[in-house]
Structure 1
Amino acid sequence: MQHKNTEIKVIISDLDGTLLNSNHQISSYTKSVFQALHKQNYLIVVATGRHHLDAMAIVKELGFPVYLVTSNGARIHAPDQELLYAINMKSESIASVLALDIDPEITTVLFRENVWQTSKTNTKLNSFQKEMTYPPQVVAFDSLDDYSAIKLFFTHDDHQKLVDLKEQILIQHPDEFSHAFSLPICLEFMDKSVDKSVAIAKILALEGHTFEEAISFGDGFNDEKMLFATGKALVMGNAPESLKNKLAHLEVILTNNEDGVATYLSNKLIN
């Protein structure tokens, strides 16, 4: 659906692989474009799979406050950082997943409120955070009493291993969770009511806007419903081919390392 520029009032962007370059940082060019859009009174929403403590440190770099959807929609924070919405996964649900025979090569992570608990140190995962605002804690999961968490996360460099694990979990729990690949190497499970698009709908209702007035950018399968919902949606050049094929009706823009989001918005929206 094409829109005249005047109709777009809301800008929604994912972080990793989208607003962030491959060093997990916001470039100075992207910063300057977003500051100009903020001055033009666009409502800006950042929607990420990252935990809120981690994401807050990143969006602070933009230099102005934004709405923040984190953990794929399990948390919503207002621009003043007030918590507007929160939902966790049940302890017993996570315990039953962790009781499955999970390949020990896969790194298993629980996103808790103030810490992320992981089955092992994973340097690749640690590199996603420039500032350790949300520290990892290596734990033996079978020693925990309470498993309640915001999100359950698995990572491995072999995508097929994660696909097999996803199938294994869904056979045992067909209707209990929502799940997504945020990156081919990252498989995430949340409460079944959680999706970025659901959280964004709550923000739009609060602000008196509609999805038709919104433009969104993403690169992962956790962005799929968000991209589908907005009046205008763009897929990053670095998105997996399988996502581009699935959303073949959407325009593909430059990659995250080429400032794809900022370049597009600068060309289309900045007066």
Structure 2
Amino acid sequence: MARLAAFDMDGTLLMPDHRLGDATLATLKRLRERDITLAFATGRHALEMRQLVANLGLEAFLITGNGTRIHTFEGELLHAQDLTPQVAERVLHGEWNTTASMHVFNDRGWFTDKALPWLLVAHGMSGFEYQMADLKRLPTDEVTKICFVGDHADLEQLRLQLSDALGDSAHLCFSAFECLEVLPPGCNKGAALAVLSEHLGVSLAECMAFGDAMNDREMLSQVGHGLIMGNAMPQLISALPHLPVIGHCQSQAVSHYLSHWLDHSDLPYSPE
């Protein structure tokens, strides 16, 4: 029996319209009734996630910023990791051959210099918004991560540029087809989940996790029970071919799977 369940948000728990379905919320509450600890592991900001969890009436640990922060459900900071000022400076002031927009995150919020209202649709449940700013004037000693949003093919080329410039001083990952993130080295959801599981006295073998993108790879690969969404990035499915693939987030597949696991764990599972 799992003692800790970790969930990615977008493309996993949330439906394509970025809402949490009623069946999913009910199933998460059933897990809590079984004394299973919940953790939301997401690229979203801690400020946004704390509000969402409070609005949903759930007790859950928060792994945010793709592993840059871990908070208890009371809001206590358990772990923090930032880009070095040198890396932040290099990315913010670098000349990159890309049409992607740049987004900077620190503990005060989300900052960009290009208004993209369509990005806010994903944050409708919380009302969380970016702040317009001159990115080159932001303090470089408090940057948690930097995100580039654009066409996937363009981001693939940008990833090569950033890799050449930063080497092993940063971790690069796709959190979605249109989103490339620059994170501190060794920083990912899996590393953060390991910190959290140790804090809770739970082994990773006693954890289950759900995800859909390459930023979920480390988390899914190291838990006792990793599950991939049917709508996942093909790269993730290829990278972890031994893990089961469940249904689509549109049909609240996490709830469907967990309901079967809670009620009929002795029977084979089928996504249909």
Q: Secondary structure at the match of 2:12?
A: helix
Does residue 205 (structure 1) correspond to residue 193 (structure 2)? The answer is: no
Does residue 38 (structure 1) correspond to residue 32 (structure 2)? The answer is: yes
Q: CA deviation at 1:270?
A: 4.2
The within-5 A match list for 1:210-225 is 210-225=203-218
> Please, which of 44, 49, 63 is the counterpart of residue 50 of structure 1?
44
**Aligned match of 2:136:** 142
The within-5 A match list for 1:25-104 is 25-103=19-97
Give the unaligned 5+ runs of structure 2. 265-272
Partners of 1:172 and 1:149 lie apart in 2 by: 18
Residues 75, 83 of structure 1: 8 Å contact kept = yes
Residues 35, 62 of structure 1: 8 Å contact kept = no
Q: Which deviates more, 112-121 or 94-103? A: 94-103
**Aligned match of 2:107:** 113
Identity of aligned residues (%): 30
Partners of 1:117 and 1:246 lie apart in 2 by: 32
Q: CA deviation at 1:81?
A: 1.4
**Aligned match of 1:253:** 246
Cα deviation digits, residues 105-156 of structure 1 (max 9, x gap): 3110000212211020112221121156543122232344546311100001
Partners of 2:138 and 2:198 lie apart in 1 by: 39
Per chain length, whose mean CA-contact separation is higher, i.e. which structure has more relative contact order (CA < 8 Å, sep 6+)? 1
The within-5 A match list for 1:187-202 is 187-202=180-195
- Amino acid of the structure 2 residue aligned with 1:171: D
Partners of 2:140 and 2:202 lie apart in 1 by: 39
Residues 85, 141 of structure 2: 8 Å contact kept = yes
Q: CA deviation at 1:62?
A: 3.6
Residues 215, 233 of structure 1: 8 Å contact kept = yes
**When the two structures are superposed, what TM-score results if normalisation uses the length of structure 1?**
0.92
C-alpha root-mean-square deviation of aligned residues, in Å? 1.7
Cα deviation digits, residues 46-95 of structure 1 (max 9, x gap): 11111101122223344221011000111000121111111211233112
Q: Which deviates more, 71-80 or 59-68? A: 59-68
**Pair 55,29 (structure 1): closer, same or farther in 2 beyond 3 Å:** same
Does residue 123 (structure 1) correspond to residue 123 (structure 2)? The answer is: no
Give the unaligned 5+ runs of structure 1. 1-6
